[in-house]
Structure 1
C-alpha cells in the first residue's frame, strides 16, 4: 500500500471489498500517516461503522460516504455516522459532499441506512407478487402509474439481482420466500441487466416487456407503495434521519420516489394518514406481519 499522497490528504475514502477485516487493515496502515483532522471515510453499504472503527486511534473521524449508482447521475450521498462519530466530522463531510456538487444527507449507521432500507420492503413485495404469478410488466406499470420513474422489477434488474440479494440478507429478509426466488436467479447466473437476463430479458441495455392487456390493479399499487411508506415511517420514528423532510429528500434524490408527490412522508400527509393506515391494516390482516403498521404512524 503505497499511498504516497495520504500525508497531504484532507479526506481519505476507502472503497474496497466488503470485508470488515480488510477495511480495518487498510485503515490501520493509513491512519498513522494522516494529519490530525483528516476525515476517514468508507463507502461500505452494509458493514457497521463500529466494526470498521475497531483499532482506530481516532474513531471519531470515521464515517461513511454512501454514493448511489450511477454515480455520475445520482446527486444524493448518505453521510453515515456512528455513535462515536464526532459532530465536527459530520459537518466537514457535509461540506466536502457539497463541494463536489452532491447533496449530503446525514444518516445513522444502521443496516441499509435510509434509502436501501426503505427500498428493501418495496423490492421484496414486488418479488412476492412475481411469486404469486403476477407479470413483471403489470407490477412495474402499477409503480410507474403512481409516479415512479422505473418499476421495482426493472429497478432490481438494473441494480443487479446479486446486489439486491446482498442488501436483502443484510436487512434480515433471508428467510422470506421472495429472497428464495431472488437467490435462485443469482445462483443460475441471472443477475439482471449486466448478464442480459434477470426477471426480464435485456437487449441493448433495455428490458423486453410484453404489452399489458389489462388495467393496473390498485391492490398491486397499494402493496408496493404502502410497503415502502411503512418502512419510511419507521426510519423517521427511529431517528435514522433527523426528520420527515430529510427522509423525503433522501427518497426522492436517492431512490427516485415519485418526485411530484414530494416524498413518502409528504405523500402520507397529503393522501390522508388515517386513510392510508386503514389500508395498511387491511393488508396486514390479509398478508401478515410484513404489513404491520410501524411505530410512528
Structure 2
C-alpha cells in the first residue's frame, strides 16, 4: 500500500508540476485503508485485482456486506463477462464494469460495462463518475473482451502467429506503424506483459474460437515482456533492441493480416450491438487502441476504402489462412 501511495504522489507531482496547492489537495483526498474499514461510506467501490474469476468473486463476498444500499461495485476487469461475476452477489444489479486503460493517467477512455442484471441507475451513475474524473466514458455491453480488447486481441494474436511463421518482429511492428498505429503489436504485447496477453487471449479464445499461437501457449516464466527485460524483444534500459535491417518479401500481406483482423472484429461488434451507439465504436477503438486516428476508426476506414475492395482481400486471406479471415455478417450493416 505504501508503494501505491508513493506512485500516486509521484503522479500528482508530474501532473500538477509546480502547483503545490493542487498537489496537496490531491494527496489530502488519498487515504490508505488496507482493512477496508471505510467501505460502508463509499458511493463506489472499484475492484482492480488480477483477472481471476474466482478470486474476484471471493473478494465480492467479503466486501458486499460492508457496502451501503445503493453503492456501486465496479470491476476493472478487462475481459471477464459481468454475468460470470455477479451471480455471487446479493444485489447483482449494483455490479458494473469500469475498465480503465494503461497508463491510466494518460489514456482518456474508460469502458462502462453493463451486464444483463446491471441496474440502469448504477450504469448512469458510473457514466457520470467517468465524466467527473475527466475521462471519456463509453457504454459497452458485457461480452468477452468488451469492445477494445475484443478488437485488439485478434490483432495481437495474428501478430504472434506471424512470429510463429518466422516473420521478424520488426517487420510486423513496422507494418502496423506504417499503417498509422502508434506502436506495433509485438512491442505492445511486450509492454502490456506477455502473461497478461496470454491470460486475456485464453479467456477470449473460449468464446471466440480463437486459437492461441505457440509463442503464447508455451510462455517461459522469465520471458514476460518489457517488465522482465525479455519478451519477444530483448530490452536494454527499458527500450527494445531491434534489428533495423529486418525484412520480409511481402510486407503488404503482413499489414493486411493485422489490420483486417481488427476490421472484421469491429464489424462483429457492430452486429452484436456491443456499444449502445454504433457510431461510438470508431471513437472507442481510436481512444482505446490508438487505431490510426486519421482513418476515422475501423468502420469509417472500411466505408472510405471500399467494402468490395476489402471484402476481396478478406476472401483471399480466408483462402490462404483459413476461417479466421471469414467476413463477418456485420459487414452487411455498413
- Which TM bucket (shorter chain)? over 0.9
Which residue is 1:282 aligned to? 316
Aligned residue among 239, 249, 255 for 1:221: 255
Aligned residue among 261, 267, 274 for 1:240: 274
1:230 maps to 2:264 = yes
The aligned runs of 1:188-267 (5 Å cut-off) are 188-212=221-245, 214=247, 217-267=251-301
**Bigger Cα displacement from structure 2, 278-287 vs 39-48:** 39-48
Q: CA deviation at 1:47?
A: 2.8
1:157 maps to 2:190 = yes
Aligned residue among 72, 96, 100 for 2:129: 96
Q: CA deviation at 1:176?
A: 6.9
Give deviations 1:211-266, integer Å, cap 9, x for gaps. Answer: 13658711111111001110111011111112432111111111111111111111
**Bigger Cα displacement from structure 2, 39-48 vs 109-118:** 39-48
Give deviations 1:245-288, integer Å, cap 9, x for gaps. Answer: 21111111111111111111111111111111111111101110
| Alignment partners' CA distance in 2, 1:122 and 1:213 | 21
| Alignment partners' CA distance in 2, 1:20 and 1:280 | 35
| Alignment partners' CA distance in 1, 2:246 and 2:240 | 18
1:135 maps to 2:152 = no
Residues matched between the structures, number: 296
| Alignment partners' CA distance in 1, 2:303 and 2:51 | 38
Does the aligned pair in 2 maintain the 1:244–1:265 contact within 8 Å? Answer: no
Compute the TM-score of the two structures, normalised by the length of structure 1: 0.93
The unaligned stretches of length 5 or more in structure 2 are 1-33
**Bigger Cα displacement from structure 2, 53-62 vs 151-160:** 53-62
Stretches (4+) displaced over 6 A: 173-177
1:39 maps to 2:54 = no
| Alignment partners' CA distance in 2, 1:54 and 1:178 | 29
Q: CA deviation at 1:154?
A: 0.8
| Alignment partners' CA distance in 2, 1:213 and 1:84 | 51
SS in 2 for 1:139: helix
- Cα–Cα, structure 1 residues 108 and 133, in superposed 2: closer, same or farther, change >3 Å? same
Does the aligned pair in 1 maintain the 2:202–2:212 contact within 8 Å? Answer: no
Does the aligned pair in 2 maintain the 1:138–1:212 contact within 8 Å? Answer: no
The unaligned stretches of length 5 or more in structure 1 are none
Which residue is 1:11 aligned to? 44
Give deviations 1:182-223, integer Å, cap 9, x for gaps. Answer: 232x22521110111111111111111111365871111111
| Alignment partners' CA distance in 2, 1:239 and 1:176 | 20
- Cα–Cα, structure 1 residues 22 and 92, in superposed 2: closer, same or farther, change >3 Å? same
SS in 2 for 1:223: helix
Does the aligned pair in 1 maintain the 2:80–2:203 contact within 8 Å? Answer: no
| Alignment partners' CA distance in 2, 1:255 and 1:291 | 21
Q: CA RMSD of the aligned region, Å?
A: 2.0
| Alignment partners' CA distance in 2, 1:3 and 1:178 | 39
Give deviations 1:104-123, integer Å, cap 9, x for gaps. Answer: 11111111111111111111
Which residue is 2:92 aligned to? 59
Does the aligned pair in 2 maintain the 1:236–1:242 contact within 8 Å? Answer: no
- Cα–Cα, structure 1 residues 46 and 284, in superposed 2: closer, same or farther, change >3 Å? same
